[in-house]
Amino acid sequence: MRDLVQPVTDWVPLADPRADNRSLRSELAAAVASVIEGNNYILGPQVSAFETALATSIGAAGAVGVGTGTDALVLAMLGAGIGAGDEVVAPSHTAGATIAAIRMINAVPVLVDVDAQTFCIDAEAVDAAIGPRVKAIIAVHLYGHPADLPRLNAIADRHNVVLMEDCAQAQGASLDGRPVGTAGQAGCFSFYPTKNLGAIGDGGAVTSDDPEFLARIRAMRTYGWKKAQYAELPNGRCSRLDEVQAAILSVKLASLKTWNERRGRVAAAYGQAFADLPLICPTERPGARHAYHLYVVRSAKRDALEVALRARGIRTGRHYPWPAHAQPALVEGARIPAPLSVTDTLQREILSLPMFGAMTDAQVERTIAAVRDAHRVV
Ligand SMILES: Cc1ncc(COP(=O)(O)O)c(C=O)c1O
C-alpha cells in the first residue's frame, strides 16, 4: 500500500529538554542569578549542596560532581585502581561513551551480550567472560531499566572484581526498592541535557558509600590535589561540575520524581495501546522500577516503521545505531569472548519512540495514533 501523508510541520520530538526547563523557568533563572551574585564560580556552595542532595536522593554516603558522565566513569575506574592493560567487562549494546571511558584509561574492554528482555548486560555472559586480567564490570542500566545487580554483585564478589554502575540513563530507577547508584563501588551519573535529570550543558557525578574512594575522586577531579596546589594522587584530571549547572540541577532534582512518574505513565499508555501490534514493548522485571529514559520497542519491520513514523511527524531514534563491537575505534584491541547474537539482533529491530518528562497528552495520543496507523502500511 502506498503511504500517502501530508508534509510534516509539527513534529513530536524524541526528547524535549526545553519543555522540562520551561516549566521551571523562573526558579532556574533565580538559581543562575544566585550563582552570578555569589561570585564563587568553581566548586563552591552550589556544587556541595547538589552533591549532598544527589547522595541523599539515592541513599548513598556521598557524591562528587564532575564534568560529564564519561568523566564519572573514567574517574571511578581510576579511583578504583583500574588502569592500562586491565580488562573491564561491559555490554557492547550501550552508549559508546561507556566503552570510550574504558579506552580513555587504556584499559581493555571485554564486550559481552545483553539480556533480550531488559537490554541490560547479561549476568551469565559476564560470569563466563571473567579471566585473570579482569578488574571491573560495568553494569549499564540501559534505557533506564536496572541491570541484574544482585547477580552481578555476587559474580563480582566471587571473582574479586569491582562492580561499577553506569547510571547515566537510569536516574530514579531502583531494584527491590534500592535506587541504582548504591549497589557497587560507584554509581556514575550523566546530566547531559536529555537525561532524566538534565543540566543546561554538561555534567556528571560519581556516587559511593566508600568515603576513601570518594575522597580520591574528589582529589582526582582537580589534578590529584589533596590540598590546594599540591598534587598528590596520580592520574589527576580537570573535570569539575560547575556552579551554574549544579544550581540548575538542584532545582530540577526536586521535580525528578514527578517527571519520572510521567515517563512511567507514558510507557504504560504506549504498552496498552500497542498490545495487539507486532511490536515487543519494554517491560519491567519483578522488583524493578524503570526510569524510562528511552522507550525502545523491537519491530521486525523497524526500517519501514521508522520511515512511516517520520512521514507522520514522529521523531524516532536508534539507540544505538552501532554496537561497540561494530565501531572501529571502540572494538580495536577489545576482547570478545562469545558471540554477541542478542546485540546483533537488537541492532536490526530497535526503535526509540518519543519519551520525556514534559510530554503532553496530545503528544502521547499523536504518537500512539501514528504508530497504529503506520502498521497499516509497514
Ligand atoms: C549509558 C551512558 N553512559 C555514559 C554516558 C556519558 O555521559 P556524558 O554524555 O555526560 O559524558 C551516556 C550519555 O551520553 C550514556 O547514555
Number of alpha helices (DSSP H) and beta strands (DSSP E) in the chain? 14, 14
- CB of residue 68 inside a 6 A radius of ligand 1: yes
Q: In what order do the strands lie in the sheet with 108-112?
A: 62-66, 204-208, 186-190, 162-166, 134-140, 87-91, 108-112
Band (pLDDT 50/70/90 cuts) for residue 35 is: very high
Quote the DSSP letter at residue 326: G
Residue 42 in grid coordinates: 568553581
The whole-number pLDDT of residue 5 equals 61
How many whole angstroms separate alpha carbon 375 and alpha carbon 273? 13
Alpha-carbon dihedral 232, 234, 239, 240, rounded to 10 degrees: -20
Query: Cα 73 to chain center, whole Å?
Result: 11
> Residues 49-65: what's their mean pLDDT?
98
Given a cut of 90, whether residue 1 has pLDDT beyond it is no
CA of 190 to the centre of ligand 1 (A): 6
Report the chain's mean pLDDT, rounded to a whole number. 97
Res. 8 pLDDT band, cuts 50 70 90: confident
- With a 6 A CB cut-off, is 169 part of the ligand 1 pocket? yes
CA distance 274 to 284: 16
Q: Can you read off the three cell numbers belonging to residue 62?
A: 556521598
Q: What is the pLDDT of residues 158-184, one digit of tens each?
A: 999 999 999 999 999 999 999 999 999
Q: What's the grid cell of residue 289? A: 522500577
pLDDT, average across residues 84-110: 98
Q: What percent of the chain has pLDDT over 90?
A: 98
DSSP calls for 78-114: HHTT--TT-EEEEESSS-HHHHHHHHHTT-EEEEE-B
Coil, helix or strand at residue 128: helix
Task: Decide whether any atom of ligand 1 lies within 6 Å of the 69 Cβ.
Answer: yes
272-294 b/e (C-beta count within 10 Å ≥ 16 → b):
ebbeebebbbbebeeebbbbbbb
Distance CA 377, CA 2 (A): 7
The gap between the terminal CA atoms of the chain, to the nearest Å, is 9
d(CA 320, CA 157): 31
Question: Average pLDDT of 235-261?
Answer: 97
Diameter of the chain measured on Cα atoms: 70
Split at pLDDT 50, 70, 90, the class of 2 is: low
Q: From the alpha carbon of 203, which atom of ligand 1 is closest?
A: 10
Residue 237 has pLDDT above 70, yes or no: yes
Pairing of strands 204-208, 62-66: antiparallel
For residue 97, how far is its CA from the centre of ligand 1 (angstroms)?
Answer: 5
Pocket of ligand 1, candidates 138, 192, 292: which has the most ligand atoms within 8 Å of its Cβ, to mutate?
Answer: 192
31 CB under 6 A from ligand 1? no
Residue 208 contacts residue 54 (beta carbons within 8 Å): no
Distance 166 CA to ligand 1 centre (A): 8
In the reported structure, the alpha carbon of residue 230 is separated from the centroid of ligand 1 by a whole-number distance in angstroms of 31
Residue 39 CA to ligand 1 center (angstroms) comes to 30
Residue 356 binned pLDDT confidence (cut-offs 50, 70, 90): very high
Residue in 277, 285, 289, 300 with CA at minimum distance from that of residue 367: 277
Q: How much is the pLDDT for 340?
A: 98
Contact by Cβ (8 Å): 65, 201: no
- Dist. CA 95 → ligand 1 center (Å): 6
What 3-state DSSP class applies to 242? strand
* Pairing status of strand 350-353 against strand 295-298: antiparallel
Quick check: CB of 97 below 6 Å from ligand 1? yes
The closest of 203, 93, 207, 82 to 133, measured between CA atoms, is 82
Mean pLDDT to the nearest integer, 206-218: 98
**292 C-beta closer than 6 A to ligand 1:** no
Q: Is pLDDT above 80 for 42?
A: yes
At 366, list the grid cell.
Answer: 499523536
Residue with CA nearest ligand 1 atom 12: 168
**Which residue shows C-alpha cell 525528578?**
256
Question: Is there an atom of ligand 1 within 6 Å of 95 CB?
Answer: yes
Q: What is the residue with the minimal CA distance to atom 8 of ligand 1?
A: 69
Instruction: Report the SS3 class of residue 162.
Output: strand
CB of 239 closer than 6 angstroms to any ligand 1 atom: no
Residue 3 pLDDT level (bands cut at 50, 70, 90) = low
* Rounded mean pLDDT, 91-102: 98
Tell me, using a 6 A CB cutoff, whether residue 168 lines ligand 1.
yes
pLDDT at 4 exceeding the cut of 70: no
For helices 45-58 and 25-38, give the axis angle rounded to 10 degrees.
130
pLDDT at 297: 98
Residue bearing cell 519519551: 355
Write out the E strands in the chain: 62-66, 87-91, 108-112, 134-140, 162-166, 174-175, 178-179, 186-190, 204-208, 225-227, 230-231, 288-289, 295-298, 350-353
Please work out whether the CB of residue 204 comes within 6 Å of at least one atom of ligand 1: yes
Contact 374, 354 (CB under 8 A): no
Q: Is the pLDDT of residue 141 over 60?
A: yes
The pLDDT confidence band at residue 97, using thresholds 50, 70 and 90, is very high
Reply yes or no on whether the pLDDT at 313 is more than 70: yes
C-alpha 325/C-alpha 92 separation (Å) is: 6
In the block, cell 542569578 appears at: 33
All three cell numbers of 213, joined, read 574512594
Of 116, 140, 112, the C-alpha closest to 127 is 112
Per residue in 269-292, pLDDT (tens digit) is: 999 999 999 999 999 999 999 999
